């Protein structure tokens, strides 16, 4: 009971802070919330069981490595905000960079289709798990219904009404996460003081080729920072660069802390017939209030992220097609592709495919940045050329070698 009250109090205070404090009503927070909503999205609630299976007690280090890789790719996006966009606006972008930029936008449109499908399948899994249902086909049916409903709403009425809930959804989700972290921390301390073990005996988890390939397939779990690249109509470059860094640092701290606090529950405590929803079963051991709080966090997270990516995909396809495909019709095409993916892949395979789709985008962005770097002078040009080349290689490794867990 004491833990329940502590969790509710922590989450409540956090929610009040996100709603009332001046910073969280500022433009800087709004610019931070968009990438943060994507980074701490679907991956947050599935990463624990996956890392438990793949790397065991090395999970905090693996999580830190994933965040470091995302930061490295984020540097490419920040470079392109600073250096590529002005050249593009002036019409002086090198031809090779222009080709890579346009190709990356088509790759991003495809990645949006995969990611929306992923978000809604996870939404279906968590929604039904909250009702005690773990049937995969039931989750697919719910995801399909929401996908079709969103597409029809977007086609005939537009999605702007749903977009307005993004900042509130981010605040609600982060408040639930604060409650979860406080609950895990309190339970871990109680275990330590009672003489219990914080490091379960999981047996060997060698960092072999399969483990490395699985970690590459998890890139999407810390993806989403690229959204700052497309907020130029609302925020200046300095604001987008600064808030992208803040979003990545905040999300990295939360992810690593969460996985560290979760380690004592690895093994049997994170085994569940629910698979990707195993975190809900585990949280019930910490406090009774956590399962419904996590379901709320999951549903708000997946819906807001899906709406954001659906809107982004529609606008991007309309722009890339020169207006030949309207935004409304792009929503219908997205739904058709999403239905095919939903019924053709399981959720963990979908994570790996989503990682590949975004990795292609990041790789093309790195190639565009590499050509732009050649317009700089001296050591700055050489340094950025090497960094973009390494980013492209990392993205290529995800595309070629990334595999799903399980």
Q: What is the mean pLDDT of the chain?
A: 83
The DSSP H or E segment spanning 335 is: helix 327-342
Percent of the chain whose pLDDT exceeds 90: 26
Closest CA to 226 of 66, 359, 334, 27: 359
Q: Rounded to whole angstroms, how far apart are CA atoms 45 and 37?
A: 13
For the cut 90, the answer to whether the pLDDT of residue 67 exceeds it is yes
Candidate from 55-64, 193-202, 235-244 with smallest mean pLDDT? 193-202
List all residues 6 or more positions away from 323 whose beta carbon is below 8 Å from its beta carbon.
none
pLDDT tens, position by position, 319-353: 788 778 887 788 888 888 889 888 888 777 777 77
**204 φ/ψ angles, rounded to the nearest 5 degrees:** -70, 140
Between residues 357 and 78, which one has the greater pLDDT?
78
Percent of the chain whose pLDDT exceeds 70: 92
DSSP state of 264: G
- pLDDT for res 276: 58
Between residues 293 and 311, which one has the greater pLDDT?
293
Give the pLDDT band (50/70/90) at residue 274.
very low
pLDDT tens, position by position, 294-313: 777 777 777 777 777 777 77
pLDDT tens, position by position, 252-264: 999 999 999 998 8
For the cut 60, the answer to whether the pLDDT of residue 393 exceeds it is yes
In sequence order, which ranges of 21-58 are alpha helices (DSSP H)?
A: 27-39, 42-55
Instruction: For Cα atoms 84, 81, 39, give the angle at the middle one, nearest 5 degrees.
Output: 135
Between residues 266 and 387, which one has the greater pLDDT?
387
pTM score: 0.86
Between residues 192 and 79, which one has the greater pLDDT?
79
- pLDDT for res 251: 92
Domain architecture of the chain: domains with CATH:
2-401 (1.20.1740.10)
């Amino acid at each position: 009971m004491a833990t329940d009250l502590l969790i509710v109090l922590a989450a409540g205070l956090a929610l009040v802070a996100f709603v009332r404090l001046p910073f969280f009503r500022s433009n800087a927070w709004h610019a931070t919330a968009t990438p943060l909503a994507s980074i701490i999205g679907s991956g947050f609630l599935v990463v624990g069981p996956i890392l438990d299976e793949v790397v065991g007690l090395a999970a905090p280090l693996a999580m830190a490595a994933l965040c470091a890789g995302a930061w490295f790719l984020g540097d490419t996006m920040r470079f392109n905000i600073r250096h590529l966009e002005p050249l593009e606006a002036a019409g002086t972008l090198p031809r090779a960079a222009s080709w890579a930029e346009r190709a990356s936008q088509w790759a991003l449109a495809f990645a949006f289709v995969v990611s929306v499908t992923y978000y809604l399948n996870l939404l279906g899994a968590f929604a039904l798990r909250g009702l005690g249902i773990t049937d995969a086909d039931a989750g697919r049916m719910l995801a399909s219904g929401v996908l079709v409903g969103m597409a029809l709403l977007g086609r005939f009425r537009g999605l702007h009404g749903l977009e307005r809930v993004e900042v509130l959804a981010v605040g609600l989700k982060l408040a639930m996460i604060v409650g979860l972290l406080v609950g895990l921390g309190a339970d871990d301390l109680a275990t330590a003081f009672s003489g219990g073990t914080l490091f379960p005996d999981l047996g060997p988890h060698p960092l072999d080729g399969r483990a490395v390939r699985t970690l590459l397939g998890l890139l999407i779990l810390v993806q989403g920072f690229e959204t700052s690249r497309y907020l130029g109509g609302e925020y200046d470059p300095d604001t987008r660069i600064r808030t992208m860094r803040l979003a990545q640092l905040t999300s990295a701290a939360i992810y690593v802390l969460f996985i560290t606090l979760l380690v004592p529950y690895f093994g049997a405590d994170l085994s569940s017939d629910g698979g990707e929803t195993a975190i809900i079963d585990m949280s019930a051991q910490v406090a009774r209030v956590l399962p419904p709080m996590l379901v709320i966090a999951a549903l708000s997270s997946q819906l807001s992220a899906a709406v954001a990516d659906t809107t982004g995909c529609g606008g991007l396809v309309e722009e890339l097609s020169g207006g030949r495909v309207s935004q409304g019709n792009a929503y219908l095409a997205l739904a058709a592709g999403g239905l095919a993916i939903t019924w053709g892949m399981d959720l963990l395979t979908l994570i790996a495919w989503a990682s590949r789709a975004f990795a292609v985008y990041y790789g093309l962005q790195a190639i565009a940045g590499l050509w732009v770097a050649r317009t700089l002078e001296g050591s700055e040009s050489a340094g950025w050329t090497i960094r973009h080349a390494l980013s492209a290689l990392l993205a290529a490794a995800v595309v070629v070698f990334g595999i799903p867990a399980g």
